[in-house]
Structure 1
Amino acid sequence: MFIVSLFIRSVAAQGLPPDIRFGAVEAFRDPVAAAEAGVGWERILFYWSELQPNGPDDWNGYHVPDDWLNLAAAAGREVVGLLKHSPAWATDGPPGCGVPRGLYLPVDDPGNLWATFVRRVVGMYVGRIDRWIIWNEPDIAPDTYGAEWCGSVEEYYQLLKVAYLAAHQVNPGVTIHLAGLTYWHDRSYLRRFLTIATQDPTGPEHGYYFDVVSLHIYFRSETVPQIINETRATLTAYGLNKPIWVNETNAPPNSDPQWPMAAANYEISLEEQAGFLLQSFALALSAGAERVAVYKWLDNDLPPGFEPFGIIRPDFSHRPAYDAYRLITAHYAATISAREDRQSLYTVVTLDRGNLTTRVLWARTEADASVSVPALAPQARLIDQTGAEQLIEPVDGQYTLTLPGARCADKRGCIIGGPTYLLVEEAGSASSPAESAVSAPDEPRAATNLGNTPTPLLTATPTLS
C-alpha cells in the first residue's frame, strides 16, 4: 500500500489537481486508475449494520479502512460518505431498511440510536470527510426490488433532521446531502418531502436540514437535464435554492463479450456506454449540476448476469467508458459556463473553459447529422470518444462536421445519442458576457447560431478508428 501511495502522489504531482466536480463511486477499488484518470471526488458507503453489527458499543474499523481515505487524500480526491442500513438490533422493522428505534426522542437522548451513531461516525472523520449523504434512494417503495428505506416520507424527514442536528454537534462545518433520488420510482417524492419539511417551524433556521439535493440518473442521456431542471423547479416552488448533484449516472452495457448477459432491461453497447458518459456529464453541466459522478468505478463482487455498471471490469481491464471518463476530466475541466443547443438531429454542448472552449457534439437520431459551428481559433482538435484526434482548420470561419447517427437499438428508441465528438479550441470565451458561472436554463439555450450556415464550407467527417 505504501508503494501504491507513493505512485499516486507522483501521478498527482505531475499535473494540475483534479477538477472536484467530476467523481466516481468507490474509486478506491482501483486507486491508481482513479489517480491517472483525475477523479475529483468519490462516494464511499458506510453501513451502520457493518460498523456496529452487535450493538451501540460495537465498532468495526475494518469496514472502511483508513487506507482508502489516505489514498484518496494522496490523489487530491474528496471523499463523500453515505450512511445507511439499519442493524437488526437498532430497528423494530426489517434489518437494513427499518426505521431506527428512538428516532423521535431528543437528539441527546441515548435512546435515539440513530443520533448516537451519526455523532460517532461524523465526529470520527472530521476533516477527512465533511460531506455526508443520509441514506439511499428512499423513493423506492418498500415492496419493490431494490428498496432501501421501509419508512414513510415523514420518517425519512425525521431521519434527515436528526442526522443534521447530531452531525453539527460534532462538526459545525459539515454538509448534509439529501439521499439520492431515482426520480422514476416516485416522481412526487421530492415534492411530498418538501411539503413536510416546509411545514416544520424549526426548518428555516437550519435550511430544512439539508444542504444539497442528490440525483441518480441512468440510461437516457436527455433525461439528465430534464430531471435536473424539474428538480430545480420543485425547489423553487418551495422557495428553496440548493445545489444539485448527480451522484450516480451510467448506462451499463449488455453486450460486453467479457460479461455476457442473458437478459437485459436496456439494449446498450460498450460504445454507447462511453458516449452516454460524455453526453450526460456535458448535459449535467449545462443544466447547472454542481457535481457529477459515474456509478461505478469498478465491478466488484458482481454476480453473473447482473448489469455491469463499472467502467472497469472485475479483472481490472478497462471498458471504453473509462477512456471516455478520461476525456471528461481532461476536456471538461475548469468549465466556467456551459450551455446546450438541441436541434432535431443533433446536440451541441458548449463548455467555456476560459482560454479553452470544448464543444461536445453528437447525433440524436439514426440519421447522420451535418453540423456547422463558428470557429473560435485558427485550428481545433477534433477528438473522438476513443481519444483519437486530428487537427482541423476552418474554412471561412466555419467547421462543418458530419456526425454518425445513433444506433437506436433499444426498444424505447434513441435513448443514447450517436458517437460523441469533442471540438477543442484555444480561444477566448464562447459564451455571452452575462454568463459567468455554470448556469441552468429552464429550456436549452443557444448561445451561438449553430447549424444555420447556408452552405457547408469545410467537411471534416468524423470516423471511428
Structure 2
Amino acid sequence: MLWGRRIRLWSRFAWVLVVLMGLSSASGASSDPPPVRAYLPVVGRAIPPSPPHAVAFGLDFVTSDDVLAGERRFAHAISTGAWLDRWPFYWARIEVAPGVFDWNRIDQAVIGDVAHGFSVNAILMIPPGFYLIGPCPLEPIEVIRVGRRPSAADLAKLPPGSDCTTPRDLEQPVFSDGTDWPGPGKSINPNNPWARFVYETVQRYKPGGVLAQQQGWPPGVGIRYWEMWNEPDLPFFWNGDVQHYARLLKVGYLATYQADPSAEVLFGGLSNVGAPGGRPTWLNDTLNLIAADPDPALRDAMRWYFTIHARHNYSWAWATWSFVNQDSALLASYGLFKPIWVNESGVPACDDYPGPPCNTNPAYHANLEEQAAFTIQNAVYAIYGGATAVFHFQFYDDCGDTAWGMYRNPASAPCHNQHPDPDTPRPLYNAYQVVTANFGDAEGLWWQRPGGTQEWIAFYRPSTRQRVLALWARYYQPETAQVPAVGPSALLVDQTGAAMTIYPVNGFYTLQLPAATNRLTGTNDGSAPIGGRPYLLIESDTQPPNVLVAPLPPTSPPEIILAWIGSDPGSGIDRYQIWVNLDGGPLFLWQETRAISAIFYGTPGHTYGFAIRPLDRAGNWAPVPTQPQVTTAVR
C-alpha cells in the first residue's frame, strides 16, 4: 500500500516537473541568462557548475634542489598570491647508494619553502640506476637532465623495450611481516626499495617529522602532499607499463600512510598528450587494475591508493575544463569522488627570449599577451569544472627548453641569462594575480556562449557577495557583449589588473571583446586555442531572484505536490519560503526550504493557494507575496 502511494506521488511529481520545465523554456520576458550551455568541439550539452569549493593556487619550481630560491625569488612568488610550490624529489639524487640517503639539497629547498609560507607538492620519481628493473640505455640521472618538458627527440632516446623508470621489486610486500596492510609498529620491508624510499622521505618531511623536529617547526608544519610520479602516461617520464604504475601507486600510498596517516597522496599528474606520444587511457587503465585488487578490503580502506587526482594542460585553454570534466566523470563511474588539481598548466612564449620568434609558427606557443590571456582562461575553465587547485608551470624559465616562466631568468642564472630585462615578470604575472585575487572562493554559477562566439562564465564569491563574470571572444573576430546588469555598477578588470567602474545603460553593460589571435595550437572545432583578451565584470548583486511555480490542477487529492524553479543570475538561490492561504484568506508562512518541491496535505472541501518567495545568496528577498501564484481545491 505504501509502495503504491509512493508510485502515485512520484508520477504526479514527474508530471509537474515536465510542465514546469516547459513553462521555463517558454518564458522569454526575464533578463535572466538563458539555459547554461557549453559547446564541446562537436556537440553542445548543458554544463552544471561544480559544487562549491575553495581553490588553492600554486607554482611549479618556486624553489627546488636544482635552483634554491633566494629572498628575491621568494618575494616574487609570494606576490603572485600562490601558496603551493610543486617540485620533484628525484630518488636517484637522494639515495646515492643502497640504503644511503643524501638529504642536504632537499632539506635546504624545503626549509626555504616553509620559511616563506609555501606548502610543498612533492613529486617522488626516478629511481637510481641500481634499482631499475631495466634494461635502460641511459642512467636515470641522464633522463632527468634531458629537460622538464620532453620533446620528440627526447622520447626517441628511449628505444622500444627499454625501461629507465620502473623500480625493481615493486611486487615485494610493503611490510616486513609479509603483508601490504599498514599498522602500528610495523616496519617497511627493506626488500621493496620504493616502499623504503617513500617511507623514509615522508618520515623526514612530514609535520612532526625528522626535519620539523630539527628545525623546531610548530605542529602541522611540514609536507602533506605527496605525488606519485609525474606524467606516468608519458613514456618519457614512465616508460614502464600500467601494471607496474598501479603497483607503484599502491606501494607509495601504503608507505606514505604508514609514515603519516593524515598525508594526501596524489595520482601522478597526467599529461595532455594523446596517442601516439602519450597514453590517453592511463587513468581508466589504472583504475581498472585497482578495481581488480586481490584485497578489496585493503583497497577500500586505503581509498583506492590516492586521495587527490592531478591533471596537466597546455596551450589550449578550453581543454583544461574538458580534462577535469572527463576525469571527474571517470572517477565517479568507479564510485570515486576526489579533489582534482590542475598542477601544471601554461603556454610557452614566443617573441621573448629564450622562446622562438612567433613568425616561425612554433607549435603550442603564444605571444606575451596571449600567454597572459591563457592564464586567466585556463583558471576559469579549471575552477568552473571543479578543480580545487590551479598551478602555473613554471615560475622562472630556469633551464627549461623555452620561455615557460612567469619570470625571466636573472643575469646570474646558469642558463637563459641573456635577456635584456633580466629577472622581470612577463605579462602573465599580472594575469595570475588577477586570478588569485578574484577566484579563491569563487563558486560556479552558470556558463553561456551567446551566439556561440562569446564565452561567458559566471561565479559567485560568498566572501564579497559579488558575481565575477569572465568573458572573452572565442574566434578571430571582435565581439560586442551585452550583459544584463544585476547591480547599479560594476568593476571591469582586464588581464593586466587595470580596473574601472562602469554603469549599465537601460539595464545592460555593453563591452567590446577583442578578437582572438592565437593560431599556433590546433583545436577540434575551429575556435581559437586561446580566446581574445579576457575581462572580468565584477558586480554586487542587488536584484531579487525570480521564481516560476508549476501550475496546479483545479482539483487535487489531499496530497498536493508543489514544484518550482528559481533563478538568480547574480548570486544563485539560497532558499525559499512557501506561503499558503486557506479558502481565499490571507497568506501565511508555512515553511522555508532549499528544496524545489514540497508536499502539502490538505483537507477535502477546502481550497488552498500557494506562493513561493525566493532568497538569493547575496541576501536579496523577492517581495512578500500578497496573492497566491497557484490555487487548487481538495476534493
- TM-score per shorter chain, which class? 0.7 to 0.9
How far apart, CA to CA, are the structure 2 residues paired with 1:53 and 1:342?
A: 55
Displacement of 1:156:
0.4
Moved segments of 4+, more than 6 Å: none
**1:20–1:125 CA distance, 2 compared to 1 (3 A):** farther
| Equivalent in 86, 105, 114 of residue 127 of structure 2 | 86
1:352: how far off? Answer: 0.7
Question: Where does residue 579 of structure 2 map in the other structure?
Answer: none
For 1:400, the equivalent position in structure 2 comes to: 510
**Aligned counterparts of 2:473 and 2:361: Cα–Cα separation in 1:** 28
Q: Which residue of 2 aligns with 1:199?
A: 292
| Distance in 1 (alpha carbons) for counterparts of 2:573 and 2:83 | 28
Please show how residues 41-440 of structure 1 align to structure 2 within 5 Å. Answer: 41-57=84-100, 59-66=101-108, 68-93=109-134, 94=136, 95-96=139-140, 97-108=164-175, 109-127=189-207, 128-141=222-235, 147-183=236-272, 184=274, 185-200=278-293, 201=296, 202-256=298-352, 259-260=355-356, 264-302=362-400, 306-315=401-410, 316-343=423-450, 344-354=452-462, 355-410=465-520, 412=522, 414-427=528-541, 430-433=570-573
Aligned length: 408
Cα distance in 1 between the residues matched to 2:408 and 2:165: 33
Residues 324-354 of structure 1, C-alpha deviation per residue, up to 9 Å, x if partnerless? 1111111223213354323411111212112
TM-score relative to the length of structure 1: 0.83
Range with bigger deviation, 345-354 or 257-266? 257-266
The one-letter code sitting in structure 2 at the alignment partner of 1:229 is N
More moved, 367-376 vs 41-50: 367-376
Look up the equivalent residue of 1:22 and give its one-letter code.
Answer: F
Task: Tell me the residue number matched to 1:4.
Answer: none
Q: SS at the partner of 2:455?
A: strand
Of structures 1 and 2, the larger Rg is shown by 2
**SS of the residue 1:400 aligns to:** strand
Say if 2:321 and 2:381, in contact at 8 Å, map to a contact too. yes
Match of 1:25 among 48, 57, 60: 60
After superposition, the Cα gap between the structure-2 partners of 1:228 and 1:20, relative to the gap in structure 1 and judged at 3 Å, is closer
- Structure 1 distance, partners of 2:442, 2:459, is 6
Describe the SS at the equivalent of 1:134. strand
In structure 2, the partner of 1:460 is none
Q: In 2, distance between residues paired with 1:252 and 1:102?
A: 39
Amino acid at match of 2:126: H
**C-alpha distance in 1, partners of 2:446/2:347?**
23
- TM-score scaled by structure 2? 0.61
Distance 1:148 1:191, change over 3 A: same
- Secondary structure of 1:298's partner? coil
CA distance in 2, matches of 1:252, 1:148: 20
Partner deviation per Cα, 1:11-51 (whole Å, 9 max, x = no partner)? xxxxxxxx861111122342111111111211121000111
Q: Is the 8 A contact 2:317 2:374 kept in 1?
A: yes
Residue 424 of structure 1 deviates from its aligned partner by 1.8
Q: Distance in 2 between matches of 1:60 and 1:264?
A: 41
Equivalent residue letter for 1:165: L
For residue 74 of structure 1, report the CA deviation from its aligned partner: 4.3
Q: Which has the higher strand share?
A: 2
1:433-452 mapped onto 2 (5 Å cutoff)? 433=573
* Deviation of the 1:425 alpha carbon: 2.3
Check the 8 A contact 2:363/2:520 in 1, yes or no. Answer: no
d(CA) in 2 for partners of 1:383 and 1:124? 44
Q: SS at 1:370's partner residue?
A: strand
Q: 1:101 and 1:186, CA in 2 relative to 1: closer, same or farther beyond 3 A?
A: closer
Q: Is the Cα contact below 8 Å between 1:26 and 1:44 reproduced in 2?
A: yes
For residues 209-266 of structure 1, give each alpha carbon's deviation from its aligned partner in whole angstroms, at most 9, with x where no partner exists: 1111110111101111111111112112222211111111101112225644577222
Identical counterparts, % of pairs? 32
Moved more, 71-80 or 109-118: 71-80
Q: CA RMSD in A?
A: 2.1
Distance (whole Å) between structure 2 residues aligned to residue 388 and residue 98 of structure 1: 47
Which amino acid is 1:310 matched to?
G
Contact 1:20 1:77 in 2 (8 A): no
Mapped contact 1:20–1:41 kept (Cα < 8 A): no
Q: Is this contact kept in 2: 1:337–1:353, CA < 8 A?
A: no
Q: Which amino acid aligns with 1:39?
A: A
